[in-house]
Structure 1
Amino acid sequence: MARLLFIREECMGNIINRIFVSPKLMLGYFGVMIFMAGEGLELNWLPDYLQHNGMTEAQTGLIYTIYGLMVAISSWFSGVLAEIFGVRRVMFIGLVLFYIGSFFFLTFGIPTNSLYWIIPTYAIRGLAYPLFAYGFLVWVAYEAPAERLGSAVGIFWFMYSGGVAVIGTKYSDIMLNYFHMQHLHLLWTALIFVTLGAIIALALSGGDTASNNNQKSEKASFAYLLNGLTILTKKPKVAMGGIVRMINTSAAYGFPVFIPALLIAQSYDKSVWLSVVFWLWMTNVAFNLLWGIIADKLGWRNVVMWFGCVGCAITTFLFYYAIISHASVLTITVIASVYGCFLAAFVPLSAIMPMLAPNEKGAAMSILNFGAGMSYFFGYFIVTLFIASIGSAGVIYIYTVLYIVAAILMIFVNVRQPSGDSVEHELSVAVKEAL
């Protein structure tokens, strides 16, 4: 009996290692997913809630612009700080900042509906989640074997997006519309999610990460923070990768600002947008995992350049013209879903960036993370700057051209990709061993 239990545990361990690289990363993945579910509770309803309570669109825009800047700054620091202090400490700092920001935001910001409280307290929350989530992404970059890095980062983005766009959003929908929970009370429950996610990722996984041990004596200085800037000149390809990552989700973040109004102007029901955006992100979540696996076979750069950049350019253009040509809701939803699929094809960038600077992975990941944070700000800023002068069509053309620019940049972001077995092969081997 003892031997059977040992064999079963060994087989289970083999399966975990084949799919999730290691048990520690597996727990980290699930911890990030639950943490981001708490972070994403208010994703689809907070701006509307603030406006219904007296905020103007301009004031709401100011709140989110500053929030986006804080996300970008924290995203940049996350990788390098993980190198200096270790991933676990940086993730813990992110958790503490979330607690602090949430306490003051929910105690003084939301109840008073005052910009003087909401802006700084929500900005602190903007600093929090990149340290936790993107700090863990550095862990993945160190822990995963090079030949499986595409799959490993694909799993990360699958869990990340699943937490924000699926679990958090659906939980809010159920609590608000079926249990009629008050918005403020719902926001307080986010602390339950982030605490549980932190326990799973930090307490249960145990051990130190590889980045904690690599050249720590050389990196234990804030001077190392300069690597997050000097690497841009030393490794121009890293800078190009950061720009591509910024372009990646900029349109996706910009769409909610003007597409709902465009749909209503074209005589669609106001509920259409919620349905369309649900399927967009559901498809994106599924393909975040699949593109990582596919890229390990077809090539990381090929997937980003052709499916990510070119695919998003085409579907962004088609999405807009399907709306103004009064296509059926099903057609618009299908195009949005295909866009969500291609949006996920940028996932291999998270594998490419550390390979561009193998001795400075933290600095390279900081640029990638900064691009991810800036994507939020950049997407919103494009709409704010151009919607009045060139209209929604002009904004769509800008997004389309940006994706083409990203494809051109990817021509130069070439990297030697290690070869290895695919996840499907690894899983089949693990199952055979288990049997």
Structure 2
Amino acid sequence: MKSNLQAVSVGKLGMDRKMMMGYLGVLIFMIGDGLEQGWLSTYLTQNNMTVQEVATLLSFYGIAVAFASWLSGVLAEIYGPRKMMITGLVLFVLGTLVFLTVGIPTMNLSVMLPTYALRGLGYPLFAYSFLVWITYYAPAERLGTAVGWFWVSFAGGLNMLGAYYSSFALPILGEMNTLWSALAFTTIGSIFGILLCKTDIEKTELTIKQALKQITKGITIAFERPKVGLGGIVRAINTAGAYGLVVFLPAYMIDSGFTMSQWLQIYGALWASNVVFNLIWGAAADRIGWQFTVMWIGGIGCAVSLACLYYFPYFFGANYLLTITAAICFGSCLAAYVPLSALVPSLAPENRGAAMSILNLGAGLSTFLGPAIAGALIGSLGASGVIWAYIAMHVISTFIMIFVKLPKDVQQEQLSAEVAPAH
């Protein structure tokens, strides 16, 4: 009886009870992956790396993330999500071991680039393979909510809990030991996500030729279904600016009068609101429309709130309340892009894995684009020029979304039909 009550309670929240351990696994794994996000660049520059070298390291990492993100959807479809999640764990561990034992101690960029990139290959294979799992398992009418829960887990670990954990761990453990502790989180997360998640999709037995065809499909689907390709572009824009901020905004905030502690609180608040609103906008979009949510709340909302995040300190100095409010608004608007994870696969229902590969590629590219744009423009245009480049990108995403929509008859079917879970 108790089990049935738990299932009903969890079901009302839009999360299938059988998938709960998977969501928890992604959350814990991403804490390990994201614990250095808010401070690694500062630590490296304090140890004689230049800002340009740090931007290069983060951009190279972003390329690896983008590559693994693109492959994750199709590979999960071919070999099964569990197997690809295991692969992601192994790559993350190997990359971390070499990066921490050789790369950072020597501060040799030629060693740090490939080892940090190897680490970057790991998390997309782990997390985005689970996202493919969700798109096959969740009923169509609850898909927006289901992927909302995924992004709660993903962003909650990567961007919020990882940062808050570091704020407590750094004074006690120091930078290197804090980095080493990432392995504990990823191992525990993998136990929950791989071993304890109770459901699965059927394994597809394919020949090498068929597998290569499926991988190729992860590219060609963007041209066969142009709306899928456009959705991938919008996803790349989604978090590009947010990931690029860490290259230059901490210095800007400190120059504006904030302390490092205040900046970390502002940054944490940004991602905390993102975590909450990932679920809110995921559920709301099932009612008010996936396209509408991405266009107006995501695109325009991000453009306005990002401008506020930069210009409030510029005009009002170190006004903590105003700035943290702007950060919270920006984080919540970033979450309004969540319905892309429901909309894009629904544009190619017969090739959901390939469609997710395009979407995941966009997500991965954002980790490259943000730092790359900052590195390219910060010297000539300054922080304001980089911010306006990010603002323009969000406005462009709104325009692109005019063309990314389901046919009305298909949309109605998606929202109303009762679809049995795939196994």
TM-score, length basis structure 1: 0.90
* Equivalent position to 1:73, from 67, 71, 82: 67
Alignment of 1:33-432 (within 5 A): 33-177=27-171, 180-210=172-202, 212-213=203-204, 220-326=210-316, 328-415=319-406, 416-417=410-411, 418-420=414-416
* Alignment partners' CA distance in 1, 2:149 and 2:51: 36
Instruction: Name structure 2 gaps, 5 residues minimum.
Output: 418-423
- Classify the secondary structure of the residue corresponding to 2:37: coil
CA shift at 1:406, angstroms?
0.5
Answer whether contact 1:301 1:414 (CA < 8 A) is retained. Answer: yes
- Classify the secondary structure of the residue corresponding to 1:103: helix
Partner of 1:426: none
1:135-169 per-residue CA deviation (whole Å, 9 max, x = no partner) reads 11000110100110000000000011111122222
Instruction: Name structure 1 gaps, 5 residues minimum.
Output: 1-6, 422-435
- Classify the secondary structure of the residue corresponding to 1:377: helix
* Alignment partners' CA distance in 2, 1:314 and 1:38: 32
> More displaced, 23-32 or 140-149?
23-32
Q: In structure 2, what residue type is equivalent to 1:198?
A: S
Q: In structure 1, what residue type is equivalent to 2:49?
A: M
* Alignment partners' CA distance in 1, 2:83 and 2:67: 18
CA-atom RMSD, angstroms? 1.9
- Classify the secondary structure of the residue corresponding to 2:13: helix
Partner of 1:4: none
Q: In structure 1, what residue type is equivalent to 2:57?
A: I
> More displaced, 299-308 or 272-281?
272-281
CA shift at 1:220, angstroms?
4.7
Answer whether contact 1:35 1:197 (CA < 8 A) is retained. Answer: yes
* Alignment partners' CA distance in 1, 2:390 and 2:99: 33
* Alignment partners' CA distance in 2, 1:366 and 1:168: 26
* Alignment partners' CA distance in 2, 1:352 and 1:270: 39
Q: In structure 2, what residue type is equivalent to 1:255?
A: L
CA shift at 1:357, angstroms?
0.6
Mark the structure with the bigger radius of gyration: 1
Shift of the 216–420 alpha-carbon distance from structure 1 to 2, 3 Å rule, reads farther
* Alignment partners' CA distance in 2, 1:220 and 1:28: 29
CA shift at 1:411, angstroms?
0.8
CA shift at 1:219, angstroms?
8.3
Answer whether contact 1:84 1:220 (CA < 8 A) is retained. Answer: no
Q: In structure 1, what residue type is equivalent to 2:415?
A: S
CA shift at 1:251, angstroms?
1.3
Answer whether contact 1:20 1:26 (CA < 8 A) is retained. Answer: no
Answer whether contact 1:254 1:382 (CA < 8 A) is retained. Answer: yes
* Alignment partners' CA distance in 2, 1:60 and 1:35: 24
Q: In structure 1, what residue type is equivalent to 2:46?
A: H
- Classify the secondary structure of the residue corresponding to 2:35: coil
* Alignment partners' CA distance in 2, 1:387 and 1:343: 23
- Classify the secondary structure of the residue corresponding to 1:54: coil
Partner of 2:25: 31
Partner of 1:431: none
* Alignment partners' CA distance in 2, 1:371 and 1:384: 20
Answer whether contact 2:238 2:337 (CA < 8 A) is retained. Answer: yes
Identity fraction in percent: 45
Residue 15 (1) aligns with residue 9 (2): yes
Q: In structure 2, what residue type is equivalent to 1:191?
A: L
CA shift at 1:58, angstroms?
2.4
Shift of the 393–182 alpha-carbon distance from structure 1 to 2, 3 Å rule, reads closer
* Alignment partners' CA distance in 2, 1:218 and 1:20: 37
1:87-129 per-residue CA deviation (whole Å, 9 max, x = no partner) reads 1111110011112111212222223222232221111001000
* Alignment partners' CA distance in 1, 2:339 and 2:189: 25
Q: How many residues align?
A: 411
* Alignment partners' CA distance in 2, 1:129 and 1:41: 13
Q: In structure 2, what residue type is equivalent to 1:262?
A: Y
CA shift at 1:42, angstroms?
1.2
